[in-house]
Amino acid sequence: MPIRHSIKRTLSKVAWRAYNTYRKGLDYNTQFSRTVEILNAPRETIEAFQTERLQRLLQHAYQTTPYYSEFLNGTHLDISRIPPLEKQSIREQPDRLYSTAYTQKQRIRNATGGSTGTPLTFYQDRGYWNQRNLSVYYFDQWAGWDFGEPQLIIWGALADLDKDGHWKHRFNNFWRNQYWLNGFRLTDTAMWAAFEKMNHCQSQTILAYPSSLYQFAKFICENKLTPLCKLKGIITSAEMLHPHYRILTESVFKTKVYNRYGSREVGLIAMECAEGRMHINCRDLYLEIESPDPYTEPGEILITQLNNYAMPFIRYRIGDIGLLSDEICPCGNALPVLAELLGRTTATFRTGSGTLIQGGYFTQQFYGIDGVTQFQIIQESLKHCILKVVINEKWTEATRRYLVQRIQDALGATVAVTVVLVDEIPLPPSGKREYTISKVDTDVDDLRKP
């Protein structure tokens, strides 16, 4: 390994340590060891820890949150008395979900645009973020990730769409020893550059959107290239990992794909282990399946986030469908297993010039847009796109113009965007919610010809 790569790794490891100490305090090492200890513990220890955290959260919610105190009674804190928390309720009465024990300054704003199809703004506290990061570090290590080791990230980077990229984004990449392939704009040139960089820096892991990773693997395969780095693993997140994505990627990169299930609202929910089972992150959350028998009949997933005290999410209906498994995983980890997960699908769009754009680009445009209750974007052809929206009273003509502009920024200024106001966007018979649909076949290569 060239000496400058070793120096870069060492510096990145030092920078990670400094960053974690700054964000989480001097006892960061103790916090991380404690996280590892809980997540590696026997089932009884994990369950006892989870029960204790759940009771503490319910107590807090009962005492300081108007929304929940209505359903709970102080002597018997029973979670089943709380109805599932709908996105609609969060949108309609956010003030009643804030804990009175937290000031406005202590609440950190976050929002989801689209992987859930329903734009939503919510708040988390510093404690939530610390715990969330600790869990991500722990679970990513299952896939071979480690602090400061070189990583290729194939993700949607809005900053990269700006002329020179945001300096903060670049600085972060440098000290974290990570480099990006922008999933929002997958051109052949960008994929070539990422492939060469991956070999040059001897990447240890890749973190990617499944659909963008699949396009990158296809590019490598079609150009008969061979990755020269020895990857330890690939982490995918944020959308459905289809079986054909996994098969192609694992054969091209000669390593395993580890699927991660999480969301902006509640953090990391589950992670796939070396044996291919999705283990539930019981340290940070309490997961229920709304079904008469969650081990045989799939149902809607309800999540209680155990660490966000500023705006507690209890029995939050996340919009995915799951099934539990009662098997003991051969990997040796005792965290319970999610047997099936039916989540979101995201399409890849293609522009007239052949650039591939990950559907996440479009859904991100809805972050913080208050006038839209639900949406679906359909690429009908290279020249026409339909945006279906369920609107609310905050919708304005300016919102419409903004969204059309953002779609045209990605697909081309000459692409016609028809905005259709609808009463609802029904779920397709498959049960898989689709917020981005492309009817342009991304596999047809001669589309690029004039």
- Please calculate the CA angle 21-24-27 and round it to the nearest 5 degrees: 70
List, in sequence order, every residue forming a beta bridge with 286; answer none if it has no partner.
Answer: 304
Binding range to Zn ion, per CB under 5 A, among 56-64, 169-177, 268-276, 319-327: 268-276
213 exposed, middle or buried (CB, 10 Å; 0-12, 13-18, 19+)? buried
Residue (273 or 357) nearer to Zn ion, CB? 273
Residue 43: CB minimum distance to Zn ion, A: 13
Residue (331 or 342) nearer to Zn ion, CB? 331
Residue (229 or 273) nearer to Zn ion, CB? 273
Residue 317: CB minimum distance to Zn ion, A: 27
Residue 257: CB minimum distance to Zn ion, A: 15
Binding mask 315-344 for Zn ion (x = CB under 5 A): --------------x-x-x-----------
Residue (39 or 97) nearer to Zn ion, CB? 39
Residue 208: CB minimum distance to Zn ion, A: 22
Binding range to Zn ion, per CB under 5 A, among 30-38, 39-47, 210-218, 271-279: 271-279
8 Å CB contact between 209 and 154: yes
Indicate which single residue of 58, 240, 271, 273 sits in contact with Zn ion (rule: CB under 5 A). 273
Residue (248 or 331) nearer to Zn ion, CB? 331
Residue (14 or 328) nearer to Zn ion, CB? 328
Site for Zn ion in 274-303 (CB under 5 A): 275, 277
User: For the CA atoms of the chain, what is the radius of gyration?
Assistant: 22
How far apart are the C-alpha atoms of 258 and 261, rounded to whole Å? 10
Backbone angles phi, psi at 108, to 5 degrees: -105, 125
Encoding tokens for residue 430? 């498959």
Residue (122 or 142) nearer to Zn ion, CB? 142
Dump strand ranges (E) for 91-220: 108-112, 120-124, 151-155, 178-182, 205-208
Residue 251: CB minimum distance to Zn ion, A: 23
List, in sequence order, every residue forming a beta bridge with 421; answer none if it has no partner.
Answer: 389
Among residues 206, 182, 217, 200, the alpha carbon closest in space to that of 360 is found at 182
Residue 234: CB minimum distance to Zn ion, A: 17
Length of the chain equals 450
Residue 206: CB minimum distance to Zn ion, A: 21
Is 19 strand, coil or helix?
A: helix
How far apart are the C-alpha atoms of 145 and 176, rounded to whole Å? 12
Number of residues lying near Zn ion (CB under 5 A)? 6
Binding range to Zn ion, per CB under 5 A, among 57-65, 144-152, 266-274, 381-389: 266-274
How far apart are the C-alpha atoms of 85 and 248, rounded to whole Å? 38
How far apart are the C-alpha atoms of 388 and 373, rounded to whole Å? 11
Residue (220 or 273) nearer to Zn ion, CB? 273
Residue 331: CB minimum distance to Zn ion, A: 3
| Site residues (vs Zn ion, CB under 5 A) | 273, 275, 277, 329, 331, 333
